[in-house]
């Protein structure tokens, strides 16, 4: 298969309707894949973080179990298509990151997606417990792991791309400034916190308002 044909076939692979298989305007440097459209709720945080950092990326649904041929093609052609880091999010058995890593020498970062049965612990162990020889960088379960996968991808890319390194540096500096700007969380809560409820309104004579239900006089029978 030629490089052109391979690239075209991967580009035509469609994601689920709620996870558009799109890429940023520049040639993507990071490939974000997930095993199911249901993983998007977690993986969208990786996409948002990369977007905020200005890192070009692409997003695909690629299942290790339902579309294994697509997975092998995507991973094996990633390097020649210009990708430099792959982020793979998966839940349950979570074979996607490991199988991806087995087909490429690019760094692969695995994000464990929280599962209903074991709350993501199964996903975490499936990704972390790779045999010696095929490494996968494993992040935290869920949203935090997705965000950190993007930040780690940016750090990896920063060794080669100065603009990405400086964007990451700015992100870290702004993060520090936000913490230093709000050292006492109790002050932020003070304006909305009340120890006692406000007093009920009273009329000018300081007497309770008359009842409305019995205000009309009854006619004699």
pLDDT above 60: residue 152: yes
pLDDT above 60: residue 212: no
pLDDT above 70: residue 91: yes
pTM: 0.76
End-to-end C-alpha distance for the chain, whole angstroms:
99
Do 13 and 70 form a contact (C-beta atoms < 8 A)?
yes
The pLDDT confidence band at residue 203, using thresholds 50, 70 and 90, is low
Q: What are 33-84's pLDDT values in tens digits?
A: 999 999 999 999 999 999 999 999 999 999 999 999 999 999 999 999 999 9
Q: What are 20-36's pLDDT values in tens digits?
A: 555 556 899 999 999 99
Amino acid 184: pLDDT? 86
The pLDDT confidence band at residue 183, using thresholds 50, 70 and 90, is confident
pLDDT above 90: residue 198: no
């Amino acid at each position: 298969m030629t490089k052109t044909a391979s690239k075209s076939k991967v580009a035509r692979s469609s994601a689920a309707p709620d996870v558009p298989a799109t890429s940023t305007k520049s040639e993507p440097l990071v490939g974000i894949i997930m095993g199911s459209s249901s993983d998007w709720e977690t993986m969208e945080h990786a996409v948002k973080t990369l977007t905020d950092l200005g890192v070009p990326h692409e997003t695909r649904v690629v299942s290790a179990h339902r579309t294994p041929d697509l997975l092998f093609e995507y991973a094996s052609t990633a390097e020649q298509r210009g990708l430099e880091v792959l982020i793979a999010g998966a839940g349950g058995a979570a074979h996607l990151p490991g199988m991806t890593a087995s087909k490429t020498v690019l760094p692969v970062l695995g994000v464990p997606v929280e599962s209903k049965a074991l709350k993501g612990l199964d996903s975490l162990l499936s990704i972390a417990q790779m045999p010696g020889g095929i490494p996968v960088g494993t992040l935290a379960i869920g949203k935090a792991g997705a965000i950190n996968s993007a930040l780690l991808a940016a750090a990896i890319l920063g060794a080669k791309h100065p603009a990405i390194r400086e964007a990451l540096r700015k992100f870290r500096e702004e993060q520090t400034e936000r913490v230093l700007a709000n050292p006492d969380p109790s002050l932020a809560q003070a304006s909305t916190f009340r120890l006692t409820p406000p007093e009920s309104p009273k009329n000018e004579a300081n007497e309770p308002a008359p009842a409305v239900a019995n205000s009309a006089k009854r006619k004699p029978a």
